[in-house]
Amino acid sequence: MSFKDFPLPVSAIVIDLDGTLLHTAPELAESANRMLRDMGRPAVSQDLLMSYIGNGIHWLVKRALTGDMHAEPDAALFDRALPIFEKHYTELLLESKPFDGVLPGLEALKAAGYRLGCITNKVARYTEPLLKGVGLADYFEIVLAGDTLPEKKPHPLPLQHSAEFFGVPIEHLLLVGDSLSDAQAARAAGCPIICVPYGYNHGEPVETLNVDAVIPDLTAVLPLITRR
């Protein structure tokens, strides 16, 4: 199902975190390279590490270790690497900054009366301090991290859960994201999706995804929707 008639009828909006709200790639990439350095392994370019972002920290660590999007590293190697990554990422976490347009975009959506949530594949132990630390936590009535529910994006469960939380039909819940996993989750759930082009879609342009619109930044959401 694709929602191409604008303005889209929307009652509530859920927004992705990494690559949509916050530019977290520099800190994630630096943490991965510090991990590799500590393990005596060669550094990887930030561009390549950025292409590894989007499916949670476990996959980022696996990809940094293997140089492959889908390969599984030796289990003992992964178990040694993960806490090293986590130590560095905890130190760098709050250096991430909102993308241009995020704060005015959230303000405009809130002022227009839309209820807002955040859905991310980042685990809660990083999600909650990060949203608080950068001053975004108060915009969201619900925050679903990668380990809040039994499934995460691209599974539709976080979107279905959000629609139930807000008490709205799933087709009136809008997802704003930046990646294939966002698009797949929205289509599986049956809700509309708008994407921003500046995020972390594994190096692929979001225009190739099955989405309802691509917008330059969060301030461009409001003209495309109408309250339900």
Do residues 101 and 219 make contact, with C-beta atoms less than 8 angstroms apart? yes
Within 8 A by CB and 6+ apart from 222, the residues are: 105, 108, 109, 112
Q: Which residues of 60-89 are buried (b: 16+ CB within 10 A; e: fewer)?
A: bbbbbbbeeeeeebeeeeeeebbebbbebb
Among candidate residues 198, 165, 225, 222, the one with its CA nearest the CA of residue 16: 198
Q: Which of 16, 18, 178, 212 is catalytic?
A: 16
Q: How would DSSP label each residue in 114-127?
A: -EEEEE-SS-HHHH
Do residues 102 and 62 make contact, with C-beta atoms less than 8 angstroms apart? no
16 is known as an active-site residue: yes
Structure tokens given for 87:
């130590």
Rounded CA-CA distance 222/191 in Å is 17
Can you give the length of the chain in residues? 228
Residue 98, SS3 per DSSP: strand
Among candidate residues 134, 136, 178, 184, the one with its CA nearest the CA of residue 159: 184
Residues that are catalytic: 16
